[in-house]
Amino acid sequence: MRIFFIFLVFLFFLTSCTSDIIGVVLKNDIYSSRVIEMMNDHQESNFNLLKKYLDEDVFIEYSGKIYNGKQNLIEVWKAEFYYFSDVFFDKKEVFTTFNKDRSYTTIFKANWNASGNFTNNSYSVYSFYEFKWKYDRIFEIHVHWNNEPYYKEWDKLIKSNKYE
């Protein structure tokens, strides 16, 4: 019976170490603080802090579309302010996990709110951002949210004379 118990303990430790994420959730850590600062700057259309922490070869998946490189990411985020004004986040949640490969992943969840520049509609969309850090640089970002506000603004822009 004792050998069986030792075997179960060994099996538990063996299977618990097969994930990419160790499971250590950090609160009030440096990466969470940086992401909060970056997202607060984003609301003001200021990307200096984001530029500071982005790796040159950063990869971003933005609601299914893929962009590579620091400058492309900055341009994508700047483009948001062509379509929207008064951008802000509320109901923010942020935490960071320590990964098996010694990198960190910071999760930022919030409601993205904005006013459409072409429709004058007000939007509130739940959004999910995943920042992957290695050596104090962001090397990968995943953004998931409903693109419907962009489609509505784009549609209004196309139907107006401003597009021509």
CATH (domain of 126): 3.10.450.50
- Give a yes or no: residue 42 inside a domain: yes
Sheet arrangement for strand 122-134: 21-26, 84-99, 104-116, 122-134, 137-145, 54-62, 65-68
pLDDT, one tens digit per residue, over 33-82 is: 999 999 999 999 899 998 999 999 998 998 788 889 998 888 888 888 99
CA separation, residue 43 to residues 58, 80, 112 (Å): 21, 10, 10
pLDDT, one tens digit per residue, over 89-142 is: 999 999 999 888 889 999 999 999 999 999 999 999 999 999 999 989 999 999
pLDDT, one tens digit per residue, over 130-163 is: 999 998 999 999 999 888 998 899 888 888 865 5
Report d(CA 126, CA 153) in Å as an integer: 18
- Give a yes or no: residue 18 inside a domain: no
- Give a yes or no: residue 103 inside a domain: yes
Report d(CA 131, CA 103) in Å as an integer: 11
Its domain, for residue 154, covers 25-163
What is the total count of domains within the chain?
1
- Give a yes or no: residue 73 inside a domain: yes
* pLDDT over 70 (residue 13): no
Amino acid found at 47: F
Considering the entire predicted model, what is its pTM? Answer: 0.79
